[in-house]
Amino acid sequence: MPFALLLRDLHVGWAWIVIIGNGLAGMWALAAIRLPELRTRSLWWFTLAAELSIFIQVTMGVALTAGEGIEPAPFHMFYGFVAIIAVGIIYSYRQQLEHRLYLLYGLGGLFLMGLGIRAMLKGAA
């Protein structure tokens, strides 16, 4: 049971990394639309890290549910899996929307942040 508590605390804390990371990545990409000097390779590495944090978060949540038998609040898992699907959709549209790539990743990052906030609120309920 101590491992379950540690994993739960890590899952709760990591949610802030997911939310803040994707929010910052989204705002950075949106700002890069107006400020070309922000269009650096660092933006894409940061966006990758923020989106990968979602997969880490969901993996911890699945481990808590399947391995430790902790029952999540209704719809909490739904938002996590929707976030993973959203990352895939955002990635799949990058070729079609190449002329609007910063807008795609900017709004996508803010959407992922919103999903994280919603999942956190549902998890606390």
Domain boundaries, the chain: 2-124
The DSSP-derived string for 61-82 is HHIIIIIT-PPPPTTHHHHHHH
- Whether 79 and 119 have beta carbons less than 8 Å apart is answered as yes
Phi-psi region of 69 (alpha: psi -120 to 50; beta: other; left: phi over 0): left
> What is the pLDDT tens value at each position of the chain, 125 positions in all?
678 888 999 999 999 999 999 999 999 999 999 999 999 999 999 999 999 999 999 999 999 988 877 888 889 999 999 999 999 999 999 999 999 999 999 999 999 999 999 999 998 75
What pLDDT score does 123 carry?
A: 82
What pLDDT score does 51 carry?
A: 98
Q: For tokens 């994993």, name the residue.
A: 7
Sequence-distant (≥ 6) Cβ neighbours of residue 67 within 8 angstroms = none
What pLDDT score does 70 carry?
A: 80
What pLDDT score does 125 carry?
A: 57
